[in-house]
Amino acid sequence: MTFVKALHVLSAVMLIGPLMSAPFVGRRAIARRSADGVRAAANQMSFYGLGSILTALLGVLTVSASGGKVKFGDPWVIISSTLYVVALGLVFFYAVPALRKAANMVAEGVLEATPDTAALTATGGDLQLKERLDAITGRVYGAGIVVLLAFALITLLMTIRPF
């Protein structure tokens, strides 16, 4: 069990850490108007989100191999599992699609980050697109905060085991 638990913790560090940083990387790339950077952040979230399933499977294996010391019915296991599902739902059904949409908008040229004469004479449509991009940026940031808090709470529950 110790070896499986070590693999579970190692995979959490190596896979969940980059997953939690991706929304913030995407937010900075949107601010820089780097479509490639935004796409890279979306791909990072997808890749490490899928990779985090390995961490979950190792967690299931750790509980199974615990010899009854830890049970799937323990409240902290149930809460951690629920938070994990919520975090992955946010990643795959909210943040990644928003980042991909933002990458497309940036690639289409939604008002450049540095003001020049063309940006100063923006049309109403340009301003609406910029407002939409700003809204997406806020949603990605908010989703990133919720995912970060979910994984922080999962870590605390697995460390402290309060129930």
Tokens representing 18 are 């980059």
Tokens representing 35 are 């479509």
For 44-86, write each residue's pLDDT tens digit. 999 999 999 999 999 999 999 999 899 999 999 999 999 999 9
Amino acid at 16: I
Question: What is the reported pTM?
Answer: 0.86
Q: Rounded to whole angstroms, how far apart are CA atoms 138 and 161?
A: 34
What is the average pLDDT score of the chain? 91
